C-alpha cells in the first residue's frame, strides 16, 4: 500500500511538472506560485518594461515588476488605480507635484494614490526594478496642461 501511494504521488507530481507553467493568470491563485526571474515575460512600454507575474495587468488586479532604464525620468502622469511599490534594485524617486523627492533604494516601499499626478525617476548608474501590486488594470495617463 505504501509503495502504491508513493508511485501515485510521483505520477501526480510528474504530470504537474510536465504541464506548461501558468504565470499567474488569477489575481488570487488557490495555490502557491514561484516564478524564477528568468521566466518573467516583460512587455515594452517605450523604455520601461512591465513583467506581470500575478493576475492580468491589462484587465484588472495584478502583481508586476516594472523595469526602468538607468536615467529614466517619466513625464508627469497618473494611474487610474492606487498601487503599492517596493524597490527591488536601483534607486527610485516617485514624487507628486510640489512634494520633495525621496531617494528609495532596495527594500524601500511607497504607495501611489490613483488619479494623482507624479513623476518617477531611476537615479544612478544602474537600471531600476520595482514590484508593484495594483487592484486595477495598469495604465499610464500623461498629464495635460
Is pLDDT above 50 for 127? Answer: yes
pLDDT tens, residue by residue, 27-45: 455 788 899 999 999 999 9
Is pLDDT above 70 for 72? Answer: yes
Q: Which of 91, 87, 51 is nearest to 71 (CA)?
A: 91
Is pLDDT above 90 for 130? Answer: yes
Is residue 129 packed enough to be buried (19+ CB in 10 Å), middle (13-18) or exposed (0-12)?
buried
Residues 6+ apart with CB under 8 A from 9: none
pLDDT value at residue 2 = 43
- For the chain, domains (ranges, CATH) are 41-142 (2.60.120.10)
Are 77 and 95 within 8 A, CB to CB? no
Instruction: Look up the pTM and report it.
Output: 0.79
pLDDT value at residue 18 = 35
Are 82 and 113 within 8 A, CB to CB? yes
- Average of per-residue pLDDT across 5-29: 41
Q: Which residue has the higher pLDDT, 134 or 29?
A: 134
pLDDT value at residue 31 = 81
Q: How far apart are CA 102 and CA 75, in angstroms?
A: 17
Determine the 3-state secondary structure of 94 from DSSP: strand
Q: Which residue has the higher pLDDT, 69 or 10?
A: 69
Q: Average pLDDT over the chain, rounded to whole?
A: 84
What backbone phi and psi angles, to 5 degrees, belong to 88? -100, -40
Amino acid at each position: 500500500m505504501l509503495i502504491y501511494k508513493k508511485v501515485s504521488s510521483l505520477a501526480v507530481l510528474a504530470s504537474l511538472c510536465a504541464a506548461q507553467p501558468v504565470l499567474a493568470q488569477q489575481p488570487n491563485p488557490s495555490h502557491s506560485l514561484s516564478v524564477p526571474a528568468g521566466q518573467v515575460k516583460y512587455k515594452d512600454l517605450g523604455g520601461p518594461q512591465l513583467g506581470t507575474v500575478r493576475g492580468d495587468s491589462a484587465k484588472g488586479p495584478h502583481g508586476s515588476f516594472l523595469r526602468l532604464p538607468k536615467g529614466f525620468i517619466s513625464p508627469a502622469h497618473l494611474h487610474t488605480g492606487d498601487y503599492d511599490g517596493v524597490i527591488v534594485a536601483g534607486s527610485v524617486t516617485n514624487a507628486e507635484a510640489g512634494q520633495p523627492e525621496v531617494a528609495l533604494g532596495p527594500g524601500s516601499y511607497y504607495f501611489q494614490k490613483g488619479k494623482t499626478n507624479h513623476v518617477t525617476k531611476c537615479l544612478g548608474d544602474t537600471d531600476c526594478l520595482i514590484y508593484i501590486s495594483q487592484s486595477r488594470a495598469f495604465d499610464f495617463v500623461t498629464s495635460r496642461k
